[in-house]
Structure 1
Amino acid sequence: MERTRAALAQPIFHYRSSGGEAEEAVRWRFQVSHECRGIFVFRSVRLDKQPILVHETEQLVNFACRLPISRRWKRFGDGTERSGAKKEHMMTASEGSARIQFKVLRGFPAIGDSTDKLETQAFLTASKEIVTVIESFGKLFTPVISDMNGNINKLTKAYGADVVKYQYLEDLIVLNVNVDDFAANALLWLKRGLQLICTFFENIYNDAQAKEALKQHLQDAYERTLKPYHGFIVQSTIKIIYSWVPTRSQLLGQGDAQAENIEVLTSFLPRMRAHLDSIDALLKAHNLDDARKV
Structure 2
Amino acid sequence: MSAEETTAIPNFFSEISPLFPEVTEDGKIDTVQFLEASKAFIKIYDQLGRAFALVKSDMNGNVEKLYTTYNKNPEKYKYLNDMIEEEKNDPTIFAVDALLWLRRALEFTYVFVRGIIDEFEAGNPTEKLDHLANIAYTQTLKPYHNWAAQNLFKIVAKACPYRSSLVKSLFMGKEEGSQRLLLEDASRYLQKLLPSLNVIKKMCEEWSLEEMKKV
Task: Give the structure-1-normalised TM-score.
Answer: 0.63
Does the alignment pair 1:130 with 2:59? no
The 1-side partners of 2:112 and 2:55 are apart by 14
The 1:200–1:283 alpha-carbon spacing in structure 2 relative to 1, beyond 3 Å, is: same
C-alpha displacement of 1:112: 5.7
The 2-side partners of 1:101 and 1:144 are apart by 19
The CA deviation string for residues 233-252 of structure 1, in whole angstroms up to 9 with x for no partner, is 21111100111111222222
Residues 228-243 of structure 1 mapped to structure 2, 5 A cutoff: 228-243=143-158
C-alpha displacement of 1:167: 0.6
Corresponding residue for 1:197?
109
Indicate the structure whose relative CO is greater, using CA pairs within 8 Å and at least 6 residues apart: 2
The 1-side partners of 2:57 and 2:177 are apart by 32
Corresponding residue for 1:152?
63
Residues 41-52 of structure 1 mapped to structure 2, 5 A cutoff: none
The 2-side partners of 1:210 and 1:131 are apart by 24
SS at 2:102 equivalent: helix
Corresponding residue for 1:110?
22
Structure 1 moving runs of 4+ over 4 Å: none
Corresponding residue for 1:288?
209
The 1-side partners of 2:94 and 2:80 are apart by 14
Q: Which has the larger radius of gyration?
A: 1
The 1-side partners of 2:75 and 2:178 are apart by 41
The 2-side partners of 1:227 and 1:145 are apart by 17
- Which is richer in strand? 1
C-alpha displacement of 1:126: 0.9
Could you tell me whether the CA contact under 8 Å between 1:111 and 1:271 is conserved in 2? Answer: no
Identify the range of structure 1 (152-161 vs 257-266) with the bigger mean alpha-carbon deviation.
257-266
Q: Gaps spanning 5+ residues in structure 1: where?
A: 1-97
C-alpha displacement of 1:231: 1.4
The 2-side partners of 1:220 and 1:159 are apart by 34
SS at 1:256 equivalent: coil
Identity within the alignment, %? 34
Q: Gaps spanning 5+ residues in structure 2: where?
A: 1-8
Residues 154-233 of structure 1 mapped to structure 2, 5 A cutoff: 154-180=65-91, 181-207=93-119, 208=122, 209-233=124-148
Could you tell me whether the CA contact under 8 Å between 1:249 and 1:258 is conserved in 2? Answer: no
1:142 to 33, 36, 53: 53
C-alpha displacement of 1:270: 1.8
The CA deviation string for residues 101-141 of structure 1, in whole angstroms up to 9 with x for no partner, is 2111133133365x331000010011101211112211111
Corresponding residue for 1:258?
179
Corresponding residue for 1:247?
162
C-alpha displacement of 1:256: 2.8
- Which is richer in helix? 2
Aligned-CA RMSD value:
1.8
Could you tell me whether the CA contact under 8 Å between 1:118 and 1:170 is conserved in 2? Answer: yes
Identify the range of structure 1 (136-145 vs 188-197) with the bigger mean alpha-carbon deviation.
136-145
Could you tell me whether the CA contact under 8 Å between 2:27 and 2:199 is conserved in 1? Answer: no
Could you tell me whether the CA contact under 8 Å between 2:52 and 2:156 is conserved in 1? Answer: yes
Matching residue's letter, 2:206: A
Does the alignment pair 1:273 with 2:184? no
Task: Give the structure-2-normalised TM-score.
Answer: 0.85
Could you tell me whether the CA contact under 8 Å between 2:22 and 2:29 is conserved in 1? Answer: no
C-alpha displacement of 1:176: 2.5
The 2-side partners of 1:109 and 1:211 are apart by 33
Could you tell me whether the CA contact under 8 Å between 1:101 and 1:252 is conserved in 2? Answer: no
